Structure 1
Amino acid sequence: MSDSENSDSDTAKEQYSDDEEVEEEVKELYIDEDEFWDASETDDEIDEPSSDINNKDSASTKPKVLHPTRSAQYAILCNLCSRSSVTSYCIPCRVSLCSNCVDKHTCSLSKPHKVVPYQEKHAATKYPECKEHAKNYCQFYCEDCDISLCHTCFSSAKHRRHKISDDLKKGKREKVKKDLKELKENIFPLYQNIALDLQREKTAVEKHYKRLDAAVSKHGDNLLKKMKAVVEKGKSCIMEGKSKHISTLEKQEISIAKKMSKLDRHILKLKQLLDTSDEFIASEYESKNSKFNRMPSRKIIPLLKFVPNRIDENNLHQNFGFLTFSAVTQDKDGFIMTKPSAHKPEIINTITTGKKGGTSSIEWCSNSEVWTIWGKVMKLRNLNGELLKQIETKSGYNVGKITTTKKGYLVYSDPDSKTINRMKKKTIKEVITLHGWTPCGVCSTSLDGLLVTMISNDKKQSKVIRYTDSFGESLTAQFDNKGVPLYSKSSKKFVSENKNLDICVADRGSLAVVVVNQTGSLRFRYTGSPSTIKTSLKPDGIATDSHSQILTADSHNKRIHILDLDGHFLRYIAVDKSDCPFSLCVDTKNTLFVAGKKSGKIKMITYT
């Protein structure tokens, strides 16, 4: 045997000495074997130029050998020897095999094998049949449409420019991974938040009804106490009347007793006269019967009587007080939503900031403190207007808008430095830096993330981005389903998140309140109530309350509009005509804070 033959023999032995090692290398090299276009499978696929082009890069990674019977076509070679045409396919290993290498491959016991004829590999792997093209198997996955595609669908104009995966299973797996990530990072936390809210609400409800029961009992005790006082007063009047009556009778009794004593003495005297001589009687006796016939007068005192009033239960309930329930409706998911009864707005406090001309943004920090801004300075005040804390921006530029997170950290937008900043433990840190965009409005979310409105540096575009609590982008709202911009190019925008996670934007440039849902789809635009507003709505500040109501400041018409969850006008709050409502915020007790545009004063208003 020649040296060259010996060399070839040694090479072959070395190549097949370790099947497992070869298989692993092959799997690594040709892990995407299913992505290749097998020109020998069907005659229909020969006429699919787009499929051939699409798989150009994948095919170029394998040796190309003309098919022995179809010399105009390239054959798929064995993944192990790379010499012979494939005849079989191992499903678990995803390896194409020639007839000589089948036994070599299956002798490895490292994993179970299932070898089928190569023409049946797609059916064996259970690729779905195409619904539009009979007998075609779907091997591709369109990520934009989220559907499976066959070769014919793949080359159609319908999916042109779409993001398509060459491996259906891989594409589906990526979709599953993406859905799983969204469920774990975005959707499930929302459910957790709702569950926690329900637990907190349940605890609050139990405390509320306990207080309510105590209030009714206390009021009942007070009523019983007053009723007992009324009864005691009646009894006292009875005793007083009895005493007076008895006293009068006793006086009359004494008077009669005196008269009767005189009468007894006179009767005795007359008896004595009868025992004397007749002459004495004739000369000395004078009759006094006429005097005794005058009976002493008696003072008749009427008896007291008790006339009870009829006890009317209705009047009793009305006088005692009554229980009332807020009207409730159900949302589309069957959850009960409370609609607060209309309450006449009342100004309960006015906070003086000492700055005329208005503050550009306000945000409550707690039920007893509120943040205000003026230029580059942010000030924390109590409800008496006393200054508690004062800080300046890190950049030295003016503040855009402010908000506070659930953890109590102050967050502000800095339009000039293109940043969003957070103050934590007296340290200001840039948490978001924008490129090509300028931040405008900012608000915290229920998951302790942020909503930021922004405009492009060339002032031609506008959008809202939702950030997670780690400041990663989770949603961008910029266009509606027709590709029309949702927002105007104006930088004058306020933003707030509603209880149902709607994103509510007061867009001064479009003279509307624009609301999109948590996926960024447009829900509605509110441009004012024609029946109540004579001039156009010019929204400035915006806020939402615990009843999912939307409140927006209309500085032009000097009033505050109140909308329900679906954008229906409910009513408005008229404010001082000498001032203009500008910035708004609502605390946990549904107290509305309104910053005046001219006076710089902050009015606290109850409205529910």
Structure 2
Amino acid sequence: MYPRSTAQDVHRCDLCETAIVHSYCDICHVNLCKPCIGDHISDGYLKHAIVPFQERRSTLIYPKCETHPHKTCEFQCEDCNNIFVCSSCTASKQHKGHNFVEVTEVYKTKKEVLKKDIKELENHISPSYEKITLELEQTLANLDVGYEKLTAIMSKQGEQWHREIDIIINKMKTEISEIKVQHREILQKHLNQIKQVQSAIKQSLLAIREIEKSTEVSSTIEYSSRISEFSKLPPKVQVSLPTFIPKSIDREKLYSLFGQITPLSTATEDNISLLNQPNTTVRELLDEPELVTTIHTGHQYLRSVTCLNEGIIWASGTTNEIKCFNSKGSLLQTIETKSGNYPYDIAVDSDGYLLYSVWSTGSVYKVKNEQIEELIRLQEWLPVNLCVTSTGDLLVTMFRVDYTQSKVVRYSGSTEKVKQTIQFDDEGKPLYSGYSDTKYITENRNHDICVADCAAGAVVVANQDGKLRWRYTDHPSVTKKKTFKPRGIATDSQSHILTADNENHCIHILDQNGQFLRYIDNCDLKYPFGLCVDNNDNLFVCEYYKGNVKKTKYLK
């Protein structure tokens, strides 16, 4: 690198490359020292414009006149479409009586326009186009994910229909079994009556034959005939089998009942200004959150809740049973853990299958078609809490078996392939406490990884690269006097972060930058634990000791 090119060095002459610059040629755009000025203008002084270096690029370079090549044009003729003219042209017959304007004035005016345009392009227009480009690239990058989610929702709807159809079929089969029992009882009762008459006939026949052989007068005379009684045959009982009358399948009607696919909608928004922000659906917080319903799970100590889809939730506690409920609180299904131990946490993957973690085995399991398979088995570490990301990856919080370290591990989809480990900050310090307590985890809409570190009394948020963004350690309150120990954590469509303050019986709502917004403390919550938010931003809260899941509305 030349010394004159070094940022920390002074400007050097472009000719000798050693002496300090003194002057500048505004025509040739060359740095010059005093000795080199003579060499530079040796081909003709008039061809150059030598100025002090501090005044460089101050000399205006006028265009040459096409009619008088030896002169420069210092004017524009307004009557001839602002063509450049020299002083000789202004005095010629061709331009007699025309109006002229000095080029310097036009130049200054245009320079001001250039400055304004540069400022507008650099500060407003270019950043706006960069923003639009970035948004479109992100939209294109997420296109497959969006359509995969759409087909996944349809598949889940199909699975739900299959389950409902199976329930209907099983119910009808039960009805048929009950009718069959009644049918059998009727026929059996009639058969028993016939056999009783048959037995009486046999006994009567034996008695008659004995009398016939006997010579005793009295037994013969005392004989009473029962022929008329036996000749009257009993009525024939006819019981018809029940019938099943299948209804014809109307495919079009069935299609409309299954759901509806909205057509592709393309809208072009006319921007009044390129600085306008894109339209987004903004939902504000309710002044007073509303309790929608309470679901009684039957768990004595309720730890976790997760949403399968709208109106369907899974809940687990300190038993080996994981229960599925609908929005009305009806029990739909019960899954028992493979090991017989209680699940530490539960989640639902992108295909709608239930996942759960178990300390005692150090494993994460997957429930698929009522079959349980071991998904992940850890060595020297034990799984704690689970989260399935928007891209289908699985996040697992875990701690060492000696309770000295904790970390977050990202697995690729529902596989054992590790994609990322988050454990330390940029200074090598642990992000999370090593204590073996709950570390519920969720992913925000901006892909931040949010962990409720109970033992540390903090919500710890890192970006998708695992870099620490911020910590939240409580909000001053005269009514909340117990130590902040966050349990469950969830996020919504507005990128709010909600965390359960177990001992203060409330929920903290934070924005995506960790700023406290408000509490949810008016729904008679008692020891809130696990949390989840469904697609409609309904909040589901586990009450640890009561075993209830409370569905709460907190957004307008």
| TM-score relative to the length of structure 2 | 0.49
Q: Which has the higher contact order (CA 8 A, sep 6+)?
A: 2
TM normalised by structure 1 equals 0.45
